[in-house]
Amino acid sequence: MNAAPVVKISGLNKRFGTGPRVLDGIDLEVSQGEFVSFIGPSGCGKSTLLRLIAGLTSASEGRITIDGMEPEKAREKMFFVFQDATLMPWRRVAENVELPLLLRGDAPAHRHERVGRMLEIVGLAGAAEKFPWQLSGGMRMRVSIARALSVAPEILLLDEPFGALDEMTRDRLNEDLLSIRSRDPFTGFFVTHSVAEAVFLSSRIVVLGANPGRVTAVIDVPFPYPRQSELRETPAFLRLLATTAQALRAVRS
Amino acid sequence: MNASLRPRLTACLLPAVTAAALIVLWYVIKAAFRVPTFVLPAPHEILVAAWEERAFLWPAALVTVRGALLGFSAAVGVGFLLAMALGFSPRIKASFYPLILVLQMMPVTILAPIFVLWLGQGLPSIVAITFMIGFFPIVANTTMGFISVDRNLRELFVMCNATRAQEARYLRIPGAMPYFLTGMKIAGTLAPIGAIVGDFLAGSAQGGVGGIGYMTISYFSQLKTPALFATGLVACLMGFLFVGGVNWLHWRLLHTWHDSMVKKE
């Protein structure tokens, strides 16, 4: 993983209007294939940082580049998974997954084949013709992930996607996300409140402090991929969990 | 009795019982106070009058339905397009919406003679009046629909580099449908009323046939009270026809997904 950085953030400041700085002096370089989690107290700007990388909002000072390009110009390399599933209630599951392919003008045959494969990967092949209201919260999130993966993004940005789900569903989806990633590799950015989730998924954890949001610690997670659920019970995992929790607590006090 | 059948039976039975009770009360009042028929006809006298006057009422109803349908369609078409323009550009909305409100505040009884001045007696004026009555609820509701698009969904389209046309087609128009249909429901109940009021104020019997509004005036002046009541009955049926049509459309377009239609266990 010594590739050149895909995402380069330097001297990044962000304020909304004339308000106080939400993010202050963020410097970060992320290489291809990394999985980076942003964790921190509410209001530390972790979601804003993700939106900045996506080009959904722009920096007040400093710069973000994706493969040397402005985020707005690099959108075809990226996809965003929102906090709630953000599905279109009038489109069936398959049609929701198909949407990004449709918007970029892929041929129907290719769309069809791709959608089928994505739904299989997230384990929802049988739900293709259902409407979002017929699915559980966990299933809706799977659809959202399938939709994001349909365009095979190089960079996947996930904004607390599993925050509203129960712990069992969340653990399951964490494992599924990693197994998907082992087949269709992407560079991941993941915002979360959950220390366990961050440690299980990430190759690197960036701890942010609040008011203003600053990087207070960067923790490397040495466990090799693919990771299985048993990893969660190993002493090394639990030690790292403790380290991360301490880093987070240091921010809060 | 089957438990799932009971609520449906109640839903049909209760209004029928209430209606029957009111009709009985009607007869009782008429008999007790010896109300003459030219003041208050008995229900059966209204039905008899409706039958006897069918040669006049049926063509009149057709004329009114035609006016209502044309005015309603114009309101739906123009209203939707205008709402789209208002919803897509805050600047257009800021420029035009207050003026539309001003127009809406203008009572249709005042607009009617103006339309007659411009368009003359007859169908064009009636259509214009119906249009004016149905147009605002459609614009107001549909504009709201175009504006209240889920923010995340909009950002999803941004992430996909979607064009404005794609955003309209795949996001805003389907998202605005429930609002559009709500506007259509309101306009649908108003359309026959608009056509009758229009007929009342701008109708003519040119070519031998006036609408329901025209017949109302005619029966009133002749003191044919049962027939006058019968026009009310016809107007009522027309209202149900329009609302039924819109409800059917509502079901067609939304029954698969919208909260107002799907049954959740």
**CA-closest candidate to residue A96, choices A138, A54, A137, A150:** A150
Least confident of A62-66, B8-12, B117-121, B251-255: B8-12
Do B223 and B147 share a domain, yes or no?
yes
Say which CATH number the domain at A88 has: 3.40.50.300
The CATH number linked to B247 is 1.10.3720.10
Range of the domain at A182: 5-252
Contact list in A for residue B153 (CB cut-off 8 A) is: 86, 88
The ipTM of this complex is 0.93
Cβ contact A189:A34 at 8 Å: no
pLDDT confidence of residue B208: 57
Q: Are residues B218 and B105 in the same domain?
A: yes
What is the token pair recorded at A62?
Answer: 């400093």
Comparing A100-104, B117-121, B182-186, which segment has the lowest mean pLDDT? B117-121
Predicted pLDDT of residue B261: 78
Chain B residues closer than 8 Å to A56 by CB: 155, 158-159
> Taken in order B38, B40, B44, B46, is the CA torsion positive or negative?
positive
Domain total of chain A: 1
Greatest extent of chain B over all pairs of C-alpha atoms, in Å = 77
> Which residue of A57, A77, A90, A92 to mutate against B (max B Cβ within 10 Å)?
A90
Instruction: Kindly report the backbone phi and psi dihedral angles of residue A68, in degrees, each rounded to the nearest multiple of 5, phi listed first.
Output: 80, 0
Same domain, B13 and B83: no
- Shortest distance between the Cα of A30 and any Cα of chain B, in A, equals 21
Q: Using CA atoms, how far apart are residues B242 and B237, in angstroms rounded to an integer?
A: 9
Residue whose tokens read 């993966």: A149
Question: Are B97 and B154 contained in the same domain?
Answer: yes
- By the 8 A CB rule, do A71 and A155 touch? no
Q: Mutating which of A53, A81, A86 best tests the B interface, going by the most B Cβ atoms within 10 A?
A: A86
Neighbour tally for A144: CB within 10 Å: 25
| Mean pLDDT on A87-114 | 96
Q: How far is A230 from chain B (nearest CA, A)?
A: 35
Q: What is the DSSP string of B148-167?
A: ---HHHHHHHHHTT--HHHH
- Would you say A170 and A200 are in contact if contact means Cβ atoms under 8 Å apart? no
CA distance A104 to A130: 24
Give the nearest chain B residue to A84 (CA atoms): B152
| Pairs across A and B, CB distance < 8 A | 57
B94/B228 Cα distance (integer angstroms): 46
Q: In the block, which residue shows the tokens 């003026």?
A: B99
Amino acid identity, residue A69?
M
Q: Which residues of B touch A80 (CB under 8 A)?
A: 155-156, 159
Cα–Cα distance, A1 to B163 (Å, whole number): 36
The model's pLDDT over B27-39, given as tens digits with 9 standing for 90+, comes to 999 999 999 999 9
Question: In chain A, which residues have their Cβ closer than 8 Å to the Cβ of B149?
Answer: none
CA distance B55 to B49: 11
* Same domain? B128 vs B245: yes
Q: Kindly state the percentage of chain B with pLDDT values over 90.
A: 74
* CB of B63 closer than 8 Å to CB of B234: no
Please give the pLDDT value at position A1. Answer: 43
Report which of A88, A50, A98 is spatially closest to residue A71, judged by C-alpha positions.
Answer: A50
Q: What is the average pLDDT across B84-101?
A: 91
3-state helix, strand, coil in chain A (%, to 5): 45, 25, 30
Q: Residue B40: which residues within 8 A CB-CB, separation 6 or more?
A: B29, B30, B225
- The residue that leads in pLDDT, A217 or A211, is A217
Which three-class secondary structure state does DSSP give residue A16?
A: coil
In angstroms, the first-to-last Cα distance of chain B is 22
Closest Cβ opposite residue A133 in set B159, B161, B262: B262
* Mean pLDDT along residues B214-227: 92
Confidence of residue B207 (pLDDT cuts 50, 70, 90): low
B88 & B184 share domain: yes
pLDDT 10s digits, B233-245: 999 999 999 999 9
Neighbours of B29 (CB within 10 A): 11
Interatomic CA distance for residues B73 and B67, integer angstroms: 10
Query: Which residue carries 């003041």 as its tokens?
Result: B39
CB A109: neighbour CB atoms within 10 A? 8
**Average pLDDT over every residue of A71-90:** 94
Q: What is the mean pLDDT of chain A?
A: 93
* Nearest alpha-carbon partner for A55 in A7, A20, A100: A7
Residue B264 covered by a domain: no
B58 in the same domain as B4: no
Q: Which domain holds residue B208?
A: 42-254
Nearest residue on chain A to B166, alpha-carbon basis:
A103
User: Which chain A residues are closer than 8 Å to B264 by Cβ?
Assistant: 133
The number of folded domains in chain B is 2
Q: What is the pLDDT of residue A211?
A: 84
Q: DSSP 3-state assignment of A85? A: coil
In a domain, B75, yes or no: yes
Q: What is the mean pLDDT of residues A1-18?
A: 84
pLDDT tens, A24-60? 999 999 999 999 999 999 888 999 999 999 999 999 9
What's the confidence (pLDDT) of residue B12? 87
Please name the residues in contact with B1: beta carbons below 8 A apart, sequence gap of 6 or more: B9
**Residue B131 located in a structural domain:** yes
Confidence check: pLDDT of A225 > 50: yes
B20 with B51, same domain: the answer is no
Q: Find the DSSP H helices in chain B.
A: 5-32, 43-52, 54-88, 90-105, 108-119, 123-147, 151-159, 164-167, 173-202, 212-221, 225-254
* Residue A65 · residue A46 · CB < 8 Å: no
For the question of whether the overall pTM of this predicted structure is more than 0.90, the answer is no
Q: Are residues B69 and B159 in the same domain?
A: yes
Contacts of A99 in chain B (CB under 8 A): 156, 160, 170
Q: Are residues B83 and B185 in the same domain?
A: yes
Per-residue pLDDT tens for A162-194?
988 899 999 999 999 999 999 889 999 999 999
Average pLDDT, chain B: 90
Considering only CB atoms, which chain B residues are within 8 Å of A132? 257
| For residue B214, pLDDT beyond 60 | yes
Q: Which residues are registered as beta bridge partners of A246?
A: none
pLDDT of residue B249: 94
* Interval A196-210 mean pLDDT: 95
Residue B222 lies in a domain: yes
**B232 and B192, same structural domain?**
yes
The interface residues of chain B toward chain A in range 151-180, judged by CB-CB distance below 8 A, are 152-153, 155-162, 166, 170-171, 174-175, 177
pLDDT in tens, B110-152: 888 899 899 988 889 999 999 999 999 999 999 999 999 999 9
The DSSP call for residue B172 is I
B18 interface with A at CB cutoff 8 Å: no
Inside any domain, residue B260: no
pLDDT given at position B210: 83
Asked if B109 is an interface residue toward chain A (Cβ–Cβ < 8 A), one would say no
Give which of B152, B158, B159 to mutate to test A binding, by max A Cβ within 10 Å.
Answer: B159
Q: Is B133:B79 a contact under the CB 8 Å cutoff? A: no
Same domain, B57 and B123: yes
Residue A6, pLDDT above cutoff 80? yes
